[in-house]
Structure 1
């Protein structure tokens, strides 16, 4: 088993490291890499790694930090030696240099490689097939929920194999595997996710208290019925300033269950607070669109309508206005509308990796999402809709385009027809002489068949004629 913090050379050692730093870790390449911890007050700490040697003085409380200079990727295991002029030394081993990502959210992100949920119906279970694989260049760090702790609760960095792999996030692992295949560098993936959680516990309470929108909605750290920051404090905050490339996020189901109408603003608040914690406003934040699900059949504290989920979809789309964010679709990845955990996690991981590859690793021609609404114009009795990410616009099954509705000035929606012409969608209804509004997939169970040449489905939307 990986030793959590360090290998002490004798029992009197006082140098301590945060649990995110240890044997088997991957350090982020091409960035300054902070290494920090505690030791005897007013001592001198020396960190030696590869050809670097950095020194720091501990403060009155014993805290110290050094910044390793940016390094090129390396798949050759290396050691790190940390010494003190007052305390015993620590030696960390089997360290690689590559790309590091942090994934978080609720149960769909926590969804294990050895899944306890329903198996896929359309294909073989790639999760189960992968469990016998060893990927020594992929390293995993899984945190556990422990409210009130000052550091993350973890077994430390582990190689992607055996029991460690079986317990890890399927999305996180397949994201890492696809990156590794394309980039041929080590990948470190951290998973801090908890089943059934809303967005608010993942956001520091201070972020809401300092927000003009939310400061009147939080009282005694409680907002939307839950404690703000309770998971952030123990599962996100202690990870910083460990150098990472970006964040992966799959969450929103529990907020849909509260009929949350402020989810986009809460995403903005969370993203800003995490970037602020890492002191890096450039950190990427890629997230997963919620899959279709019958929320109206749930017996939650609040009643749902068929528009409960589309409102969250719209909020997720609105969050794309936040710099350095991106989103992938999932409406084509479900088998049963009563299953809130789509089983095709390997495909979700692959789509997220394609976002990263396209946005950050030079694969600019790689399509990573489906058609997205761009603009709509009235042409006689027709609405002509343009999309981004729309090369090869088509029907996925060769049938008529589904899940279209239009309304006139009275706002009463009628089922509409759509045809693809000049790579645009032309929509009309025999019941509406002058259509002014369009909805596509505006229903909790919607699985539209409009896709691009990558086979990726359209993002759900509603729009009005200007």
Structure 2
């Protein structure tokens, strides 16, 4: 069966002329118009100041209502208008917008929370089949179970633009087995939203704006014009969503900033710039939860571009350092790579659930959920051993029942040696016969590292390097 939104999704990738035309406000006709994100089957944020906007003839009077919430305004000289509605106590399912010559009725609207999901291919990866990739684990059963009428999906069509666009191409659909397949919706975002909807018992809207093989610069607005590709995905796929009211953002990206530019520490300020500018665009200090890149044999599989097996470790450290940005959280994925030669781990369910746990604890105040694995805090040296203290360290153990792995130790000469590590009274003791006086310890410091240290919640420890400690604000 061909669903009605299939054609829209398929043709939006090539209909650049139609998209460009849709961004031009109507100045001759009096017909009032709404952006694509304000459409049938959507979830509107239940908030005190939810924006509704669109276009009409310059100076045209526009009235907006959703149940008992009403507002009116006039279109500006550019034809754009905007109102804000208090939807905290409203009971309705139809948004009505009236202009001088027409009225728009947007039906099947739910009130709840809306999250924007973005990034590159590991966020883009769908539940089912996709050319060049293996499907997610148990994809047949997961797709069959994707009937969730209070979960709504909006897939933003891929596009690029040199200037911020006024609109995007896409439409809201009810979550169903047919919908997740037809839209090729992000698996990580789906599992994130499904857990939130079940835990909170309220409608959840998900917006998927993701493109594989893309650097963070392409998603960052306001970059220097000397770099013409910078911001082109933000301009076409995110700018036109603002000022839609969001609860927060989930983000999975970074692999291309290892492969294309070996960013290392430079990635942290790039993340800071992206988060600051997205928050400014949407007019809210949005929670921003993201995923640390997973283990992968970059310098083996992609040796023409990556020759250093520590390149990915340096980028992971930069991602961890970005936790100093207020309102952020990060998922560690060192335990989720099923094939080190494949840059796309298949377990997106755990990724989505861990992102949801960050949101449940950080945004929704769930104190019964531990969203973080062990995070290195301090080191002491006693009797030829380095004693490591961790935050989020209740119930430390080795996930596979074996000796702790991926600890290295160095002395004053700076040479690194594999170390033995044991758990003692809630700390980890690290030693090597080659190092009489430990000076530094590193953990999971390799592109393919899959260490086994976890806490009682079963969450993996954050990779670290004692010579590159995280700022206190970054230690969650």
**TM norm structure 2:** 0.88
As a proportion of its length, which structure holds more helix? 2
TM alignment of 1:1-400, pairs within 5 A? 1=4, 14-72=31-89, 78-84=93-99, 86-116=100-130, 117-119=133-135, 125-132=137-144, 133-148=146-161, 150-166=165-181, 167-204=184-221, 206=222, 208-209=223-224, 220-222=226-228, 227-257=229-259, 258-261=261-264, 262-280=266-284, 282-299=285-302, 302-400=305-403
Partner of 2:413: 410
Instruction: Tell me if the contact between 2:379 and 2:387 (Cα under 8 Å) persists in the aligned partners.
Output: yes
Shift of the 188–408 alpha-carbon distance from structure 1 to 2, 3 Å rule, reads same
Instruction: Tell me if the contact between 1:140 and 1:158 (Cα under 8 Å) persists in the aligned partners.
Output: yes
Deviation at 1:260, TM superposition (A): 1.2
Deviation at 1:407, TM superposition (A): 0.4
Partner of 1:215: none
**TM norm structure 1:** 0.90
Distance in 1, matches of 2:188 and 2:169, equals: 19
Shift of the 152–56 alpha-carbon distance from structure 1 to 2, 3 Å rule, reads closer
Q: Which runs of 5+ in 1 are unaligned?
A: 6-11, 210-218
Distance in 2, matches of 1:438 and 1:144, equals: 46
Q: Secondary structure at the match of 2:93?
A: strand
Partner of 1:9: none
Distance in 1, matches of 2:462 and 2:34, equals: 44
Instruction: Tell me if the contact between 2:135 and 2:346 (Cα under 8 Å) persists in the aligned partners.
Output: yes
Instruction: Tell me if the contact between 1:144 and 1:152 (Cα under 8 Å) persists in the aligned partners.
Output: no
Distance in 2, matches of 1:432 and 1:119, equals: 45
Aligned residues: 437
1:408-463 Cα distance to aligned partner (Å, 9 max, x none): 11100011111111111111111101110101111111101000011111111110
Shift of the 408–186 alpha-carbon distance from structure 1 to 2, 3 Å rule, reads same
Q: Which runs of 5+ in 2 are unaligned?
A: 9-21, 23-28, 470-476
Distance in 2, matches of 1:31 and 1:285, equals: 21
The two structures, once aligned, show a CA RMSD in angstroms of 2.0
Distance in 2, matches of 1:300 and 1:243, equals: 43
Q: Secondary structure at the match of 1:144?
A: coil
Q: Secondary structure at the match of 2:226?
A: coil
As a proportion of its length, which structure holds more strand? 1
Instruction: Tell me if the contact between 1:113 and 1:131 (Cα under 8 Å) persists in the aligned partners.
Output: yes
Deviation at 1:118, TM superposition (A): 2.1
Instruction: Tell me if the contact between 1:126 and 1:346 (Cα under 8 Å) persists in the aligned partners.
Output: no
